[in-house]
Amino acid sequence: MLLIECPWCGPRDEAEFACGGEAHIARPAEPAALSDAEWADYLFMRKNPKGLHRERWCHTLGCRRWFNVERSTITHEITRIYAMGEAAPANENEGEA
Amino acid sequence: MSRYSIFSLIRHARTGHRDWPRAWRSPEPKPAYDVVIVGGGGHGLATAYYLAKEHGIANVAVLEKGWLGGGNTGRNTTVIRSNYLWDSSAALYEKSLQLFEGLSQELNFNVMLSQRGLVGLAHTQHDLREIARRVNAIRLNGIDSELLTPAQIKELVPIINISPTVRYPVIGGSIQRRGGVARHDAVAWGLARGADMRGVDIIENCAVTGIRREGGRVTGLETTRGAIATGKVGIAVAGHSSVLAAMAGFRLPIESHPLQALVSEPIKPIIDTVVMSGTVHVYVSQSDRGELVMGAGIDVFNSYAQRGSLPVIESMLAAAVELFPIFSRLKMMRKWGGIVDVCPDASPIIGLTPVDGLYLNCGWGTGGFKSTPGSGWVFAHTIATGAPHPLNAAFSLERFHSGALIDEHGAAAVAH
Ligand SMILES: Cc1cc2nc3c(=O)[nH]c(=O)nc-3n(C[C@H](O)[C@H](O)[C@H](O)COP(=O)(O)OP(=O)(O)OC[C@H]3O[C@@H](n4cnc5c(N)ncnc54)[C@H](O)[C@@H]3O)c2cc1C
Ligand SMILES: [Zn+2]
């Protein structure tokens, strides 16, 4: 069970949120210039790390705003909450056990 | 290795069943093998079994980081069926169901297959039309499937509530009568014994930590029990597929999610089919011990923790109690989770990878127990010949480049 700290509403039960999956996947500037493999990489391939995961959450049943979360996929511990559009935090432990 | 029979049972009864031999060896890893399978779940064991049996390749090791069958194979709710929508899925899952139908005889090990029938419920007009479409598609593929009225469902499952006044009334459904359940541990143990008997080394407590490559080819593995040289590696690690792919330098369209299940206290027999509802999100069967076995969909977030959150359990039980009011005072005994490998089109990936000699079997997500023998059968063919069998050709990793996805979300989301 996750207790997620919405930047606007404070700590709330996981059931109030929707998970938007991996964060920081930038849409290619020129999609038509990509090969099929590059397009597939953008569309379907995921990091799916065992360790720290940067992901998007939306407070659907609250303020309905999106934000980024850094969370361990091993312990479920949330280590950082930061705004949409903010760069991924530099962290050596990304994806590490 | 001795065969199990009524005579061996009688013979061992004389000594009080105290000296049954071990069902498989526990060998030290050799420095090299022709083929190494990573992952000692049902799929890895089945692959090794069919490599030895169908292709005469017995210099094979199965490496398991924990204990045999301790992953999703030993955590699943054992539903078996082949009622999938698309032709390629129908052919693959039906092959597996047919192998299951002969598995106890073939393995000389009772996998307790019980073809008690599997009912899917419709609660909305949309459900009803979709179920009718599926029943037709399934029958066109020569697989058994029938539509049911609420009255027919009530006759099959007397404890179900078909009142039209509940929030999501039961307004119809379908049944695959050849569907049912089997004993998950027995499938793993029977395949392990069969593979071991043919010379396969099953090595537990041995985690793969690196994949050695030279010039785009696999040359061996690094493990917690030393390096092993081999020219062919088959990966069947379910929730850890992305971790293994990363060791070999490529990415997968897979995300790992918890999938939970629970069992009630044991009670007298009250339900003798499997009932599932993809709309209210619950499915139920009763085990031979009398426990009700229930499950639903995945937890929404990525995880490798083999546990999920309570809201999934709460909503699954709310749905169960509305469908079966008689469950309302039952005690739930245990809940647990496994980490499932979810693919964007809810279909598996079985085939080649960007690395020569490295083969991949993953993406079974919430529904790969039923496909254990079929998956091993086609994967063994793929590894032995270096090319997919016609049954798994469509399930390539390449389909995410070509766009030829096999969308089975309707057959494989809540329904496992
Ligand atoms: C709660 C739940 C209910 C389910 N219900 C159903 C159902 O009703 N019907 C159905 O058809 N399917 C169901 N499934 C799905 C099914 O269990 C799986 O698809 C199937 O068992 C996968 O088998 P496998 O052999 O590929 O994986 P697993 O049994 O998970 O085996 C993979 C093995 O790889 C090992 N491994 C991982 N990393 C390494 C490494 N680095 N080195 C060595 N070994 C490694 C793991 O320890 C594990 O034992 C359910 C799953 C869950 C979790
Ligand atoms: Zn909020």
Query: For position A74, which CATH number holds?
Result: 3.30.2270.10
Indicate if the alpha-carbon torsion angle B398, B400, B404, B406 is positive or negative: positive
Identify whether B357 is part of a domain.
no
Inter-residue contact B136 to B413 (CB < 8 Å): no
Interface of A to B at Cβ within 8 Å reads 1-2, 13-15, 18-19, 21-22, 36-37, 39-41, 43-50, 53, 55, 71, 73-76, 95
Give the CA distances from residue B8 to residues A17, B2, B14, B354, in Å, rounded to whole numbers and listed in that order.
Answer: 58, 8, 10, 49
Identify whether A93 is part of a domain.
no
Say how far apart CA B174 and CA B137 lie, in whole Å.
13
Mutate to test the pocket of ligand 1, among B366, B375, B378, B379 (most ligand atoms within 8 A of CB): B366
Q: B400 vs A1: CB contact, 8 Å cut-off?
A: no
Identify whether B250 is part of a domain.
no
Helices (H), B364-416: 372-385, 399-402, 409-412
Inter-residue contact B342 to B256 (CB < 8 Å): yes
Rounded to a whole number of angstroms, the distance from the CA of B304 to the nearest CA of chain A is 5
Identify whether A77 is part of a domain.
yes
Residue A49: HSE in the Cβ half-sphere, 13 Å Cα cutoff: 17
Find the CB nearest B402 among A2, A36, A76. Answer: A36
Say how far apart CA B211 and CA B231 lie, in whole Å.
11
User: For residue A69, how far is its CA from the centre of ligand 2 (angstroms)?
Assistant: 13
- Which segments within B128-171 are labelled E, that is strand? 146-148
Mutate to test the pocket of ligand 1, among B99, B283, B369, B378 (most ligand atoms within 8 A of CB): B369
Tens-place pLDDT, residues B383-394? 999 999 999 999
* Token representation of residue B191: 């395949």
Tens-place pLDDT, residues A44-75? 999 999 999 999 999 999 999 999 999 999 99
Give the CA distances from residue B16 to residues B1, B5, B10, B19, B374, in Å, rounded to whole numbers and listed in that order.
Answer: 20, 16, 10, 8, 38
Nearest to B213 by CA among B352, B355, B386, B354: B355
Give the CA distances from residue B310 to residues A1, B261, B317, in Å, rounded to whole numbers and listed in that order.
Answer: 6, 11, 11
Range of the domain at B151: 115-180+258-340
Say how far apart CA B362 and CA B246 lie, in whole Å.
14
Q: For residue A49, report the phi and psi dihedrals to the nearest 5 degrees.
A: -70, 150
Q: A40 vs B303: CB contact, 8 Å cut-off?
A: no
* Token representation of residue B369: 């127990």
Range of the domain at A44: 3-83
User: For residue A11, how far is its CA from the centre of ligand 1 (angstroms)?
Assistant: 34
Please tell me if residue B251 touches chain A, with a CB cutoff of 8 Å.
yes
Query: For position B137, which CATH number holds?
Result: 3.30.9.10
Q: B255 vs A45: CB contact, 8 Å cut-off?
A: no
Say how far apart CA B357 and CA A25 lie, in whole Å.
31
Query: What pLDDT is attached to residue A97?
Result: 45
Identify whether B71 is part of a domain.
no
Identify whether B275 is part of a domain.
yes
Inter-residue contact A25 to B389 (CB < 8 Å): no
Rounded to a whole number of angstroms, the distance from the CA of A75 to the nearest CA of chain B is 6
Identify whether B285 is part of a domain.
yes
* Token representation of residue B2: 């001795």
Q: A2 vs B344: CB contact, 8 Å cut-off?
A: no
Inter-residue contact B89 to B414 (CB < 8 Å): no
Residues B110-136 as b or e (16 or more Cβ within 10 Å = b): ebebbbbbbbbbbbeeebbebbeebbe
Reply yes or no on whether the pLDDT at A96 is more than 60.
no
Q: Total domain count for chain B? A: 1
Residues 317-356 of B with CB under 8 A from A: 344
Inter-residue contact B37 to B47 (CB < 8 Å): yes
Query: What pLDDT is attached to residue A94?
Result: 61
Identify whether B311 is part of a domain.
yes
Chain A residues with CB-CB distance to B244 below 8 A: none
Pairing of strands B274-277, B282-286: antiparallel
Say how far apart CA B355 and CA B293 lie, in whole Å.
41
Which residues have a Cβ under 8 Å from the Cβ of B84 and sit 6 or more positions away? B90, B93, B138, B408, B411, B412
Q: Tokens 């999106």: give the residue.
A: A66
Q: Total domain count for chain A? A: 1
Identify whether A92 is part of a domain.
no
Closest ligand, as measured to the CA of A4: 2
Tens-place pLDDT, residues B23-48? 999 999 999 999 999 999 999 999 99
User: Which amino acid is present at B117?
Assistant: G
The ipTM value here is 0.95
Say how far apart CA B397 and CA B250 lie, in whole Å.
11
Closest ligand, as measured to the CA of A57: 2
Q: A1 vs B255: CB contact, 8 Å cut-off?
A: no
Please tell me if residue B309 touches chain A, with a CB cutoff of 8 Å.
yes
User: For residue A10, how far is its CA from the centre of ligand 2 (angstroms)?
Assistant: 7
Mutate to test the interface with B, among A48, A59, A75 (most CBs of B within 10 A): A48
Tell me the whole-structure pTM to 2 decimals: 0.97
Q: Which residues of chain B, if any, have pLDDT below 50?
A: none
